Each structure stands twice: as C-alpha cells, then as structure tokens.
Amino acid sequence: MFLVEHQQDKWLHVYLPERPNGSMGWILVGQVRLTQHNYRIIVELGAHRITVYKGWQVIDQEPVGVGKAETPTPGGVYYTKELLKPTDPNGAYGPYAYGLSGFSNVLSDYAGGDGVIGIHGTNDPSALGHDVSHGCIRMSNAGITRLAATLPLGVPVEIEP
C-alpha cells in the first residue's frame, strides 16, 4: 500500500513506508490498484490535538498524547497502513492501533518491532494532552474505536509541529 502524492502520465509518485521518513518513489499506474476516499488526519503536536476529516467536515477532534522530548513524534506526511486489534483492549494500546507508514527518528526498534509510529488508544486517559509516549499518538479508546469502524486504510496523516 502506498499514498500517491501525484501522477505524471503513467507514473505515480508515492510515499514509501520505509526509512528515512518522507522517502518517495515512482511506480507504474498499471502495477497497482488505485482506490480513493476523502478522509484525512491532522495531528498538531504542540496543541496535542487530532482532527479527522471527511472532505471538509470534521468527524472527530480530541486531545492526544504525543512523544516525549527524548522520543518525539516525528512530523511529516504519513498514511495508515494497517489496523491492529490488540488482544487486551484494556491494555496500553487500547482496543485498536493504526500502524503508520513512518518510523521513530530515535528508536530503531520498539516492543519487538522496527520503531513504527502509530495512532492507538490508551489505558491511561489522564495522559491525553501531554508529551508521554515513545513517539506514537495516543487517543481516547472511544475515539480510536470510532475511527476503526469508519476509516479505510491509506488515510493521509499529516503530523504538524
């Protein structure tokens, strides 16, 4: 899965889900199946806020927890590439977790994985609105549950300062 930045003739310029963040490449249109939707996610790190849009309509906006100073959430353009349902919905990741196409800039691995950043629920709602994570974006369990029921994969995620 890729996020298309633009098309030029028979070529697509796409964001690649690899290090370094922001990597892009070209693929032929005929090598992929294209789908479209009008969802997008904006995460404002300084405001500790996530806003989810369908077109220009806000369908969710709420406080989030973001990376601590030593493990900051990296800014940039990413996309949702997988939706996971943790075995313990009351655990640290909440009932759902989106894996994004980006990676921590300071952790090469985390919890047995390769340092992928994500958007997920939390078992500590008091941490929302603060710098608390290892780079992931934590939101309410109710919010991530709504998103999991609504959003397709491939949703652009813009992480802003």
Catalytic residue among 13, 120, 130, 134: 120
**Domain range annotation of the chain:** 39-160
Nearest to 41 by CA among 149, 141, 147, 161: 147
For residue 112, the model assigns a pLDDT of: 73
Nearest to 115 by CA among 155, 80, 73, 77: 73
Q: What is the pTM of this model?
A: 0.95
13 is catalytic: no
| CATH (one of 3.20.20.80, 3.40.50.300, 3.40.1800.10, 2.40.440.10) for 39-160 | 2.40.440.10
**Sequence-separated (6 or more) residues with CB below 8 Å from residue 5:** 13, 14, 15, 24
Query: Which pair of tokens denotes residue 112?
Result: 């047995």
- List, for residues 125-145, the tens digit of each pLDDT value: 999 999 999 999 999 999 999
Catalytic residue among 13, 37, 134, 136: 136
Q: 111: how many CB neighbours lie within 10 A of its CB?
A: 10
